[in-house]
Structure formats: C-alpha cells, structure tokens
Amino acid sequence: MIRVRWLAALTMAGAVLVGCAGEQGPPAGPAPARTKAGPPPGTAAPTLAAGPGGAAPVFDRSAVPADRSAKTVALTFDADMTADQGPRAARGEHFDNPALIDTLRTLSVPATVFMTGRWAEEYPEQAKSIGADPLFEVANHSYSHHAFKEPCYGLPALAAPDMKADVDRAFAAFRTAGVRRVVPYFRFPGGCYDETALRALGPAGVTAVQWDVVGGDAFATDPDAVAEQVLKGVRPGSVVVLHCTRSAAPTTEAAIRTIVPELRRRGYRMVKVSELMRAGR
C-alpha cells in the first residue's frame, strides 16, 4: 500500500531550500558528541519496516485509497536553520515564522513540522508551543541541516559515521526545549540521500519522509504562484513540502490562506503524516 524507495532519484529537486546552507563551512563549536538520544519511546506514530540490511525506510506519499472519496493530504513544513546561522539570527534574520503557525491554528489545519535541532535551540519557546499543540506533530530534520549526501545544493556535508549522531542530537534538542508530540520521522536536508545515508540511519529507528508535491515557496515572492503550484500537484495521499522559515520563505503564510480553503472546497481533509502513513498501511 505504501511506496518505499531505497535509492529514489530526486525528482523534486526544485523544492529544496537551496539557501539554507548559510555561511558554508564546518558547524560552529565542537563536533556533536555521540549520544544515545533517539526517537521518543513508546510513540503511537506508525513507522515502516526497515529495509535491506536494516536501512531506514522511506515514505513519500500514501497509495491512492480504495475509497477515492477519502481525499487526504499532509501539509508539512520544514523549520530550517543550519548549525552556523546563529550570527545571522543575532543580527536580526528570522528563521522562524510565527504568523504561519498562527494561521494554521486559526484555520484548524493539522500539520507535521520537520524541525532542525538548531532551530529548536534558537526558538525554544516556539518549538515547545508547536509540540504542545495537538494540531501538530514535530519530526526530525537533523540538528545541523547539513547534507547526508553530496552534492546537495551547496550544503556542507556530514560524514557517514556522524549522521546518526546528528539526528540524535536533534532529538536531544527537542527534549531540552520541552517539545512534546515528537514522532520518529526524519526528513533529509535538501531531500538528498543515498543507500549509505539510509544504512547510517537504520539504528536511529526513524522513517524518512520525502514528498510528492513541491510547494515552491523557497525564496518565492508571489504567494499566488505558490498556491497554484501546490493545488495543481495535490492528489489523494499526497505529502506537500513547504517551509516555516520567514527569511527564506516569506510568502508561505499568505499562500496557505489560499491553499487550505481551496483544498477543502475540493473535498480534501488535511492530516498529519502519521495519519496519512497509518491509513496507507
């Protein structure tokens, strides 16, 4: 029922927030310590079975349900911040987007927020608030927002032995910020991965989540164009990738105010990734 890809080509490359690398180079401070932190124990969120050799499985959309009237779509939002962007935040650049979260709440839109650990450290109160809201679930987008495969849109790359530690460090950052409703899902920065990355993350116990609909909000200036692109691509079971980063995706909140009412008019029900995955099993 669910399509699982081990070495899928990045057909959705245009969705990548190519500017998220910030000032390139190694992350500020010492390399992350290896930690036993991982996904929350006892989570009720469904996951997929591991792949060959224990590799992390990949989910990109649910199969079209037998009942075609069951129109569901998952809107997902990447809260991006790379490990070396602290100085930019200190100078006033906003990597958060509280207006977007407020609009999702006003419109009662369930959503999955793929958050970097560095974002949670920069905005701990917002991270805690998102995780406390039953409308949302928080998933892992790495700690550093560095690439898990090269090349990946100019992002600095992690070595394979450091990949699981980076994911664990993000989960640890969520715990420190008091984030609840954390699910064992992971989104590769830039959407870039290969077999090496999947095998490295197998022991982390996460299901990687990609997408089949590109929001196109990265650096967009026209919210209507973003809305049109999303609405054109959505079909039953879709996963839509958008961003929760004010400085690099400033039109997302306005686009959502068009996307959500139109999806509902077309008979779609918006759900979290966990519900979409559960329905497709």
Residue 134 lies in a domain: yes
Residue 8 lies in a domain: no
Q: What is the pLDDT of residue 228?
A: 98
Residue 41 lies in a domain: no
Confidence of residue 258 (pLDDT cuts 50, 70, 90): very high
Confidence of residue 62 (pLDDT cuts 50, 70, 90): confident
Q: What is the pLDDT of residue 39?
A: 63
pLDDT tens by residue, 11-25:
333 334 433 433 333
When mean pLDDT is compared across 26-30, 68-72, 179-183, the lowest value belongs to 26-30
Q: What is the pLDDT of residue 42?
A: 45
Residue 138 lies in a domain: yes
Please say if the pLDDT value at position 26 is more than 50: no
Residue 20 lies in a domain: no
**Backbone φ, ψ for residue 242 (5° rounding):** -135, -175
Residue 213 lies in a domain: yes
Residue 28 lies in a domain: no
- CA distance linking residue 157 with residue 163, whole number of Å: 10
The 3 state secondary structure assigned to the chain is CEEECCCCCCCCHHHCCHHHHCCCCCCCCCCCCCCCCCCCCCCCCCCCCCCHHHCCCEEEEECCCCCCCCCEEEEEEEECCCCCCHHHHHCCCCCCCHHHHHHHHHCCCCEEEEECHHHHHHCHHHHHHHHHCCCEEEEECCCCCCECCCCCCCCCECCHHHHHHHHHHHHHHHHHHCCCCEEEEECCHHHCCCHHHHHHHHHHCCEEECCCEECCCCCCCCHHHHHHHHHHHCCCCEEEEEECCCCCCCCHHHHHHHHHHHHHHCCCEEECHHHHHHHHC
In the chain, % of residues over pLDDT 90? 80
Residue 44 lies in a domain: no
Average pLDDT along the chain: 87
Confidence of residue 161 (pLDDT cuts 50, 70, 90): very high
CATH of the domain at 161: 3.20.20.370
pLDDT tens by residue, 108-121:
999 999 999 999 99
Domain total of the chain = 1
Please say if the pLDDT value at position 33 is more than 80: no
Please say if the pLDDT value at position 274 is more than 60: yes
Residue 241, domain extent? 52-280
